[in-house]
Chains A and B, each alone.
Chain A
Amino acid sequence: MTQRSATHATFAIERVYPHEIARVFRAFADPAAKKKWFAPPQEGQPDRHSMDFRVGGREVNGGGMHGGHVYVYTAVYQDIVPDERIVYSYDMTMDDVRISVSVATLEFRPQGAGTRLLLTEQGVFLDGHDNPEQRERGTKGLLEMLGRSLAN
C-alpha cells in the first residue's frame, strides 16, 4: 500500500555581496557565468545541463550518481525583472520519482555599493514516508535526538 503525503516547508536566506546589482544578476542570467558556480564542483559536471533564461524557459541540471541515486532538477522561469527579481518553480526527482516541487524567489536589492540578495524557497515534499525503511530510520533518528536532548 502506497501512503501518499505532502509536507510543506518554507525557508529564506539573505546574503550581501560587495558587487553591484547588475553583476550579481548577470551571474544568474548568463548561462556561461551560472555554470561556473551553480553546481557543486565535487560532483563533477552533471551529464544533463541546459538553461533558457526567459519567462517560460527551462533549466535542467542533473544526472550522474550521487549516493547511488540519480537526481534531476528541472526549473521553469516564471517571472524575470532585470536587476530586481527572478521567480522560478522547480521539481526534484530521485530515480525518476518526483520528491519535491518548489517555488524559489530571488530578490536583488541595493545595499550601499553592493547587493542584498534574498532567497525564499517554498516547497512541498512528496510521499516522504511511504518507504518503511526510511520511516524506521526516521524514528531511530528521533529517538537519538531525544537521547541527546535528555543528556544535555
Chain B
Amino acid sequence: MLNNSPGLDQMFQALADPTRRAIVERLSRGPASVSELARPLPMSLPAVVQHLQVLEQSGLVRTEKLGRVRTCSLDSGALSLAEQWINDRRLARNRQLDRLGAFLDAEAIKEKKS
C-alpha cells in the first residue's frame, strides 16, 4: 500500500542526488544544524538550504528553529518501520488465513468420513 504512495516517489527523487544522500547519511547518525551540515559540503550555504528544502518536502527531513539555530533531523525511520510493520502484519495475516483454509478443508473431510 505504502509502496504506491506518492510520498515514496518524492523520497526517491530527493535521494537521487549525492549531496542529499550525504545529508541523509549524516542525519542518520543524529540531528544537526544547517551550518554543521553545510561544513563538509563543497557548496554555498544557500545551495545546502535548497537541498534541505527538497528533503523536507519529501518528508525525509524535519527542521525546527530553536532560537537562531535551525536543527535538522531525519524522519524516515517512522515511515520505513511502519511500512515494515504493515508488511509483516499483512504477511502474518495472510499465512493465518491460509491456515484457516487448510483447517476448514481438513474438518470438512473428517466430517464426510464419519
A93–B101 CA distance with the chains assembled, in angstroms: 28
A5 interface contact, C-beta 8 A: yes
A19 interface contact, C-beta 8 A: yes
**B103 and A11 form a contact (CB under 8 A):** no
A36 to chain B, nearest CB (A): 6
Q: Which residues of A contact B79 (CB under 8 A)?
A: 7, 138
B21 interface contact, C-beta 8 A: yes
A17–B95 CA distance with the chains assembled, in angstroms: 14
Known contacts A19-B108, A132-B30, A146-B12; A139/B24 CB under 8 A: yes
- By secondary structure, the B interface counts as helix
Central interface residue in A19, A129, A143, by most chain B CB within 10 Å: A129
Q: Which residues of A contact B103 (CB under 8 A)?
A: 27, 33, 36-37
A98–B70 CA distance with the chains assembled, in angstroms: 32
- By secondary structure, the A interface counts as mixed
A22 to chain B, nearest CB (A): 11
A36–B104 CA distance with the chains assembled, in angstroms: 10
**A135 and B97 form a contact (CB under 8 A):** no
Give chain A's interface residues, CB within 8 Å of chain B.
Answer: 5, 7, 9-11, 13, 15, 17, 19, 23-24, 27, 33, 36-38, 40-41, 99-100, 117, 119, 121, 123, 125, 128-129, 132, 134-136, 138-143, 146, 149-150
Give chain B's interface residues, CB within 8 Å of chain A.
Answer: 1-2, 11-12, 15-16, 21, 24-25, 28-30, 74-82, 85-86, 89-90, 92-97, 99-105, 107-108
Interchain residue pairs A-B with the least CB separation, the first 6: A129-B77, A135-B77, A139-B28, A138-B80, A128-B81, A37-B99
Other than A15-B100, A123-B89, give 18 A-B pairs with Cβ distance below 8 A. Answer: A7-B81, A7-B82, A9-B1, A9-B85, A13-B97, A40-B99, A99-B85, A123-B85, A125-B78, A125-B81, A128-B78, A132-B30, A138-B76, A139-B24, A139-B74, A142-B15, A142-B76, A149-B12
